[in-house]
Amino acid sequence: MEATEIRRTVELEDRHWWYRERRAILARELRRLGTPGRALDVGAAGGGNTRVLVQHGWDALVADYSETAVELARGRGLKAIHADARDLPLPDRSFDLVLALDVLEHIEEDTRAARELLRVLRPGGTALISVPCDMALWSAHDVASGHVRRYTYDGLHALLTAQGLTIDRVWSWNVLLRPVVARRRKHTSGSDVMETPRLVNMGLTAVIMLERYLPVKSRPGVSLIARAHRPRQ
C-alpha cells in the first residue's frame, strides 16, 4: 500500500463506516476467543485494528512493510516493526493470534505470506484473515489500492489449508451493499477510500450493521473473512 493511501486510511478509519464495522467484527471475534495473549497484526497500515487488540487486553505488535505505517503506529503508542509478510523476523510459534486483514491481496507470493502466518502461530493459535472477493468486482479501485487479485471462497480456503492452517469458518461480508459497490466501481477511476458525507456515512453504517442480524453471510459479498487455527499437533 502506498504511503499516501496509508495516511489517508489513518485519517479516515475512526469515522468511516467500513473501517468501523470491520473493527466491530474484530471485537466480536476477540470476545469469542476469551483470554488474551500475544497478537501480531500483519500489514496493519497504522494500527487501527491493533488498537482494538490492545483495548481487549492483548499484547499486540504491528508488523508492516511500509516505514510510513510503522511510524504512524508508533505515533499512536503501539509496538511496531518493519517486516515483510513473506519473511517475518519473528520466532516460530510465538503468537496466540495473528491478524492479516486485507493484506494477502497485495502480495504476489501469497502462499509464502500464508505460510508465515502459520509459522509464527503457536499450536492452537488463531488466524483472522480478510480479503476482497470475486474478480467480477475488479476495478480501478483495486489497481489504485495495489491489489494483485481478489479471492473466491474456494481459493482462500485452498490457500490457507495448503499451508497447514485448519479452517474454522469462512464467511462473506459487505453483502447487502455489494450491488451498490459493483455499480459504483464501474464508474470510478481510482480508490474509493475517501471522506463520506456525514448522512451518507450514517446510512451506510446502518446498512452494514444489519448484516450482524441477517442470514446473509453465505451469499456473495465484497469481502471474505476467515477464522482458522494452527493444529495442536
Can you give the pLDDT of all 233 residues of the chain as single tens digits?
Answer: 677 778 888 888 999 999 999 999 999 999 999 999 999 999 998 899 999 999 999 999 999 999 999 999 999 999 999 999 999 999 999 999 999 999 999 999 999 999 999 999 999 999 999 999 999 999 999 998 899 999 999 999 999 999 999 999 999 999 999 999 999 888 877 777 778 899 999 999 999 999 999 999 999 999 999 999 999 97
Complete domains list, the chain, with CATH: 3-229 (3.40.50.150)
Residues ≥6 apart with Cβ < 8 Å to 180: none
- Location of C-alpha cell 476477540: 30
pTM of the model: 0.94
Please spell the DSSP secondary structure of 110-171, one letter per residue.
HHHHHHHHHHHEEEEEEEEEEEEB-GGG--HHHHHTT-S--B-HHHHHHHHHHTTPEEEEEE
Q: What is the average pLDDT value for the chain, to the nearest integer?
A: 95
**194-210 residue pLDDT tens:** 788 999 999 999 999 99
